[in-house]
Amino acid sequence: MTLRWIPVLVLAQLGNLGLMEAQPKGQERWVATWATAQMLVRPAPARPPAAPVTALAGPATTVQQIGTRGFDNQTVRMIVRTSIGGKRLRVRLSNAFGSAPVVVGTAHLAIRAKDSAIVPDSDRSLNFNGKPGCTLAPGVVLFSDPVELTVPPVTELAVSLYFPGETGSPTTHATALHNTYISKEGDLTAKAEIPEPVTTQSYYWLAGVDVAAAAKAAVLVTFGDSITDGARSTPETNHSWPALLAERLAANKKTATIGVANLGIGGNRVLRDGSGASALARFDRDVLSQPGVQWVTLMEGINDIGREAADQAEAVTADELIGAYKQLIGQAHAHGVQVIGCTLTPYEGANYYRENGEAVREAVNSWIRTSGAFDAVVDFEAATRNAGNAKRLRAEFDPGDHLHPNDAGYQAMADAFDLSIFTGKR
């Protein structure tokens, strides 16, 4: 069966999902072109030191030290990719999970060239309330002052932050799927590239990038766990399903003003904290606060089912997950945000697969498809399941862990969207 014909169920009242009515000509508004979900970094397990303890003094120079101590007199250059383009941008920084203030000495934004290198003429220094730096108090979100920079859709940007003093453990996102380049020392935010950097694949204190967009522009927030985050996709290729969907939207004239903000967290659960705060705990911050949000996809629950099916002390029922979905739908609708339900993909063969968990997944998927609670439904299970065994991923989509799709599987998920969901026309 050709992937483009995989069925997508779009529920009644589809017309309500269309773009908002045009505002007066020439009016602009801030819209997220990229965002990520934040969490407190988990330090790596302690290991026997390879050098005397005194060698740990000074800037953090290994991934383990960064996780434990953060940064000190170091520059961090992080790579993001826009969804929609614009000519004025701002950056959002957040100390959502920090317990102490963090000083950012200087900050820059540029178009990425390759690796840590930037396109020199694109480099812009960022101010915060007119000053070249800021202090991120615990829990605070700060917006940079706008900068003029013409950025096309689906373009990679480099955000460089200099931390002049000790930061402590960072507020982070652990699955950047792009290299982050960390200097040995000093303020290199304006440099064309970072020499001999330490690299990680995490974001630090970076919450989002917004563009001043046309009044009709809007954002789809993709909310979920590691399958939305893009786990097991190829790094540096933008092959998570939200990134691939952003390309589809950008390439279609009718949807080119719709951005995508990926707020997935690997290991996240709906009902309980785990890897990051639970979906119920983070929905307001990660979804409803996004500038320009008009739609949200909801695809989360497999970690609740898998982890708790294997541990009966934390068993979860379909009714409990459905109750949580109903609450999230209600919260979104109260803010004028439309909710697209996404069925949970197959996972037989995964480490935490259990038959009792599979029964919960099937019941949840049946409710997603038939309840009418969502404004639209995209059937990810149908897009990825094995024709001979619906409990398993298709072999050509399975990277070997039987849980996360590979690049081809994520492409099938992105292709499963009928773009008329976003235009109000069948």
DSSP for 319-371, written as a single string: HHHHHHHHHHHHHHHHTT-EEEEEPPPP-TTSTT--HHHHHHHHHHHHHHHHS
> For the chain, what is the mean pLDDT?
90
Q: Regarding predicted confidence, which is higher, 319 or 47?
A: 319
**Average pLDDT rounded to a whole number, residues 96-108:** 95
- 228-255 tens-digit pLDDT: 999 999 999 999 999 999 999 999 999 9
Question: Which structure tokens are listed for 135?
Answer: 């202090």
- The one-letter amino acid at 256: A
Q: Is the pTM of this model over 0.85?
A: yes
134 CB-side CA count, 13 A: 24
Give the range among 19-23, 267-271, 404-408 with minimum mean pLDDT.
19-23
- For residue 313, the model assigns a pLDDT of 74
Lowest mean per-residue pLDDT among 63-67, 261-265, 337-341:
63-67
pLDDT at 162 over 90: yes
State whether CATH 3.40.50.1110 applies to domain 3-20+216-422. Answer: yes
Closest CA to 138 of 176, 166, 170, 162: 170
Q: Which pLDDT tens digit goes with each residue over 380-389?
A: 999 999 999 9
pLDDT value at residue 44: 44
Residue 164 C-beta-side C-alpha neighbours within 13 Å = 9
Res. 11: pLDDT tops 80: no
Place of tokens 């699955």: 175
User: Tens digits of per-residue pLDDT, 248-307?
Assistant: 999 999 999 999 999 999 999 999 998 999 999 999 999 999 999 999 999 999 999 998
